[in-house]
C-alpha cells in the first residue's frame, strides 16, 4: 500500500534540502504524496517567524521546484492549535482519514531525540517512520525504513545566520523563498 509521507518541521525557512528530500521521495514507488506540516508552536520553545510566513515559504519552495503535483502544505498543526506534538498530529490525521497509510519522515540526526518525544512509545506503534540520512551525519541502527540516498547538509539555523549578516543564501534558498525572505526582511 502506498503511503502519504508526513514531513513535519519548523521550515524556518524552507530550503533546498527540504526540496531535495521531497524530490527524492516523489520517485519512490511506495510514496503516494508528501505533506509538509509546518510546526505551529515549537514544543521546545524554539523562536520562529510567524506560521503564515513559514507556510508561504513552503508553498514557494514547492512551486520553485515544480513539486505541487505530489506535495502539499498542510496547516493541520494550526488547526489543532497550541504546541505542536507529533503524536497529536498523527492521531488527528489518522482519525480524519482512517483508510490512509501514513509514514512520518525524520532525519537520522533526530533518531536519538525520538524517545524524548511526547508519547514516543505509542507514536512508534501508531505510525511507520522513514529515516533520512544527511551527509556527514551517521545513521544509527534502527527498525525503521532508512532511505539510501543522503540528503544535502543544509541547516536552517546557518541560513538564518547568513541572512542576519547579509550573506549570500542563493545556494540554500530557492528564488521564490529568497525573494519572500528579503522583501519582508525576515531573519534580520
152-159, long-range: CB within 8 Å, 24+ apart, which pairs?
152/16, 152/17, 152/20, 153/17, 154/15, 154/16, 154/17, 156/10, 156/11, 156/12, 156/13, 156/15, 159/13, 159/15, 159/187
pLDDT in tens, the chain (188 residues): 899 999 999 999 999 999 999 999 999 999 999 999 999 999 888 999 999 999 999 999 999 999 999 999 999 999 999 999 999 999 999 999 999 999 999 999 889 899 999 999 999 999 999 999 988 888 889 999 999 899 998 999 999 999 999 999 999 999 999 999 999 999 98
What lies within 8 Å, CB to CB, of 139 at 6+ separation is 108, 111, 131, 133, 146
* pLDDT (0 to 100) of residue 66: 98
On whether the CB atoms of residues 105 and 79 are closer than 8 A, the answer is no
In the chain, where do the E strands start and end? 3-9, 31-38, 71-73, 102-107, 128-134, 145-151
* pLDDT (0 to 100) of residue 1: 85
* pLDDT (0 to 100) of residue 45: 86
Amino acid at each position: 500500500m502506498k503511503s502519504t509521507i508526513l514531513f513535519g518541521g519548523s521550515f524556518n525557512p524552507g530550503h533546498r534540502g527540504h526540496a531535495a528530500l521531497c524530490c527524492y521521495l516523489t520517485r519512490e514507488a511506495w510514496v503516494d504524496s508528501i505533506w509538509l506540516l509546518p510546526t505551529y508552536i515549537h514544543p521546545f520553545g524554539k523562536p520562529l517567524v510567524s506560521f503564515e510566513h513559514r507556510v508561504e515559504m513552503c508553498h514557494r519552495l514547492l512551486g520553485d521546484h515544480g513539486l505541487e503535483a505530489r506535495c502539499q502544505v498542510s496547516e493541520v498543526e494550526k488547526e489543532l492549535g497550541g504546541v505542536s506534538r507529533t503524536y497529536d498530529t498523527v492521531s488527528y490525521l489518522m482519525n480524519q482519514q482512517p483508510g490512509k497509510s501514513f509514514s512520518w519522515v525524520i532525519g537520522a540526526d533526530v533518531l536519538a531525540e525520538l524517545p524524548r518525544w511526547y508519547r514516543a512509545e505509542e507514536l512508534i506503534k501508531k505510525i511507520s517512520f522513514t529515516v533520512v540520512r544527511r551527509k556527514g551525519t551517521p545513521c544509527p541502527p534502527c527498525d525503521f525504513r532508512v532511505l539510501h540516498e543522503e540528503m544535502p547538509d543544509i541547516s536552517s539555523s546557518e541560513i538564518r545566520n547568513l541572512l542576519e549578516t547579509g550573506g549570500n543564501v542563493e545556494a540554500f534558498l530557492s528564488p521564490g523563498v529568497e525573494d519572500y525572505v528579503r522583501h519582508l526582511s525576515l531573519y534580520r
